[in-house]
Every structure is written in structure tokens, then in C-alpha cells.
Amino acid sequence: MQAQSPCSSSWRLMLSLAFGVIAALAPTSHAQPSGEAIKLGLNYPATGRYQQEGIAQAQGALMAIAEINASNGILGRPVELLTANSASDPVRAVDNVNSLAQQGAAMLFGGASSAVAVAASKAAAQRDLLYFGTLTYANETTGADGHRHMFRETYNAHMAAKALARYLNEAEADKTYFYLTADYNWGWSTESSLRTFTNTADTSRHQGALVTFPRPRESDMQAALEQARASKADVLVLIQFGDDMAMALTVARRMGLHETMTIVVPNLTLNMAKKAGSGIMEGVIGAAPWVWQVPYRYGFTRGQQFVEAYVARYGHYPSSSAASAYSIVYQFKAAAERAQSLDTSKLIAALEGHRYTLLKDEQEWRAFDHQNVQSVYVIRSRPRLDILQTHLHEDYFDILLQLPANEATPTRVEWEAQRRSANQPLSLQ
């Protein structure tokens, strides 16, 4: 596929986001929406160490809104995007929810941190508004901390770990692991799930170190990686995200750990790979709910159309962050039109149990926990020279396997066990 020149679209987007209200422009169509705009509130990190994931969410949301406004909007009304910068800070994210609600948001979405998503979604529930989680991988988001106003579009740590274990238990059988984990709920959740599914729960053999979160220093990474080297482990699991992951990988590469260890980053995105760079990423293994190669590998036409329209609009490939936000906007539209209403209770009823296909194979908004049930992909970063020879130099990942949704997702029994351990009711409140 060929991409148009990026021109100045990214700069225009960043300038527009600074004003907090965006009416997405689109080509005229035969059916033009009219009346008062439906406002969607994006609570995302426009600054900080997860910034690139946040910008990708804004881009995906804006593209969906532009397409929807070109096709008679939602319930015949135009759609606008309200934005607020969370900076990946839960306190700030809660303040944003209150502000976006006061501005008339009909629903809220976003986040690139599970701590933010959990706090923001609870604030949204107090205002009887839906909150859709984009990048929030901690099991607790739809598990121990789940509630009826929260719908998670992406996968969870359990699903990512189960897919990775399917690959690692064969490729790295009987090897010794070292876990370098971000010290917050997503990090703990991911380490626990991966230890379970790879049979590496014995911490005396499979050691680990916690790294300060948020804003770890390079010296923190260096100290933890020195412990990893001293452990003589075969597999290094870097449970880090965004710029933190790029820093950890850079230090590990500088120390030469890639020469003696298989490096696993449980949750990988294209933006993280680009931040680290093709040389640093080479050979790194991870999991993802979606990468732009998926629709081409498996023949998903609608997903291919999304990728090509996104490249034409922004001049680079979409990450899973962009795909998540894009999908959420379309799912909100579909739910509103099934319910013929913006009433939150009616929207929840329209979402629960709904199955759909959009950018990949079939997905479902599971009724009892509001987890999006979907397939999971294990990916590996390609050799640097291969990446540099591709269009836009962004063909980072080979897909190693696909784990079907019914095998990846926690069962109701497993979910109820989580709820009991947290003294939470066995139905969403």
C-alpha cells in the first residue's frame, strides 16, 4: 500500500488538541447530521512517558468521528471530541472526568495506565456515564475493580500472558526467567499472570525486581538489570510500558543482555517499538490485541481499510492505541443506534453480550464483566535491516501465533475467584 505525504496533519492535530474541543472535519455526504452535537470525552495522556500512546488514541478517535460525521453522525446528530490531558496521573484523570462531564460529554474513554482507567471510570460511574478503557491491561480493571459503567475494549494481563505462555512454554521450555516489573497494578497483575501460565512461580529460581513507578530513573533500570544479569536467567521479562520500556530496552542492550537472554515485553505497541528504535527492538517478543499487520495476515478487509485510511490521513501506521479508540467510537455509535438513546442504562444493555466484527475477527462485550472477548497475538520484532527496507520503515512485527478468544479470556469461574478475593460482589454494581 502507498501512503500520502503526512503534510502538517500531526501538527494541526496537536494544536487542535490544546484547545480541548474538536469537531472532526470530513467530506460532505448525502446525509448530513444536524442538531446539537453529541460530545465524546477523551481522557488521555497528551504529555508524559505515555504521550505517544495518547496521541495515537486522539488520532484514531478523530478519524472515526470524521467518518461518522460523513455518514449522518450518531442518531442523525454530529459528533464532537472533547479532550483532556491526564498526563497518566489518576488524580488529574478524575478531575478531567468531572470537567468533561460538565462540558456535556455523553460518554468517556481513554487512558494509557490501568491506575488512571480504574480511577477515572469510578468517577464516571458517579456521574452515571460510561467509561471505555483503551490501554488498561491490569486484570483488576474488569476484575476486582470492575463495575457496570466500565467497558474495557482491549485485552487484559491474563489474556496476554496466556498467549505468550503458549509460545514461550515451547520455545523457551525449562528456561530460567527474571521479571523486571513496574511497581503498580498493571505490573503486578502482568507478572502474576505470566508466572502462573509459564510455571515460573518459584521466585527462588525465577527471580525478579520491582522498578519505581511512575517516572523511574535510568539508574533504577540499571540497578534492576544488574540483578537480572547476576541471576544468569535465560529469559528477561521487561514489564514496562511507553517510554519506560524504551529506556529499559536501551539499557539492557547497552549491557549486552540481548546476547545471552531472550527478551520479552508482555505488552507491545508500534509506538513503543518506534520509540526504542529498530536496532534496540530486534528479536523482542511480546503480545498485542492488534497490530496493523493482522488484517493483511488474516484477510480482514475492514481492518485493511482502516489501516490504509489512517496512513493516508496521518502519514504513519496505526498502533493498537489508535485502533482501540477508533473501535470504541464506532461501538458507542452502534450501541446508541441499537438503543435509540444516549441514556446510560440503555447503552449498557445494548452493549452487554453484543458480538461484532470490525478490525479483526469476532469480538464480544461480555455481559458479566464487560471485558472485551477477543483473540490475542504473539509478535516478535523483525531484524533492523528488514524493517528499514519496508514502506515507512514501520513494519516492525512478525506474528508468531494467534490465540483464539475462547482460549485467551478468563472464565467466569476465574473472574468470580478474583471478585471473592477482593471481597467484591459477584455481579457488577
Q: Give the domain ranges of the chain.
A: 9-155+295-373, 158-288+376-408
Residue 1: predicted pLDDT:
44
Same fold, 9-155+295-373 and 158-288+376-408: yes
Q: What CATH class has 158-288+376-408? A: alpha beta
Residue 17: predicted pLDDT:
52
> Over pLDDT 90: what percentage of the chain?
90
261, pLDDT greater than 60:
yes
Residue 289: which of 196, 417, 397, 211 has the closest Cα? 397
Render pLDDT for 88-137 as a digit per residue (tens, 0 to 9): 999 999 999 999 999 999 999 998 889 999 999 999 999 999 999 999 99
Grid cell 467509561 in the structure block, residue: 131
Residue 32: predicted pLDDT:
84
Render pLDDT for 183-195 as a digit per residue (tens, 0 to 9): 999 999 999 999 9
Q: What sign does the CA torsion over 299, 303, 307, 312 have?
A: positive
175, pLDDT greater than 60:
yes
24, pLDDT greater than 60:
no
Q: What is the spatial order of strands in the sheet that 235-239 belongs to?
A: 208-211, 177-182, 235-239, 262-267, 285-288, 376-381, 397-403
Residue 49: predicted pLDDT:
87
174, pLDDT greater than 60:
yes
The stretch 15-44 carries a mean pLDDT of 69
Distance CA 289, CA 320 (A): 7
Residue 264: predicted pLDDT:
98
Half-sphere exposure of residue 11, counting CA atoms within 13 Å on the CB side?
3
Residue 138: predicted pLDDT:
94
419, pLDDT greater than 60:
yes
35, pLDDT greater than 60:
yes
10, pLDDT greater than 90:
no
Query: What residues have CB less than 8 Å from 417, skipping those under 6 apart?
Result: none
148, pLDDT greater than 60:
yes
**Please, what is the average pLDDT of the chain?**
93
Give 334 or 50, the one with higher predicted confidence: 334
156, pLDDT greater than 60:
yes
247, pLDDT greater than 70:
yes
Distance CA 202, CA 260 (A): 22
Banded pLDDT at 25 (limits 50, 70, 90): very low
Distance CA 396, CA 296 (A): 14
Residue 410: predicted pLDDT:
96
The answer to whether 146 touches 368, Cβ cutoff 8 Å, is no
Residue 103: predicted pLDDT:
98
What is the DSSP annotation of 65-95?
HHHHHTTTTBTTB-EEEEEEE-TT-HHHHHH
Q: What CATH class has 9-155+295-373? A: alpha beta
The answer to whether 50 touches 91, Cβ cutoff 8 Å, is no
SS3 sequence, 319-350? CHHHHHHHHHHHHHHHHHHHHCCCCHHHHHHH
Render pLDDT for 351-402 as a digit per residue (tens, 0 to 9): 999 999 999 999 999 999 999 999 999 999 999 999 999 999 999 999 999 9
Residue 111: predicted pLDDT:
87
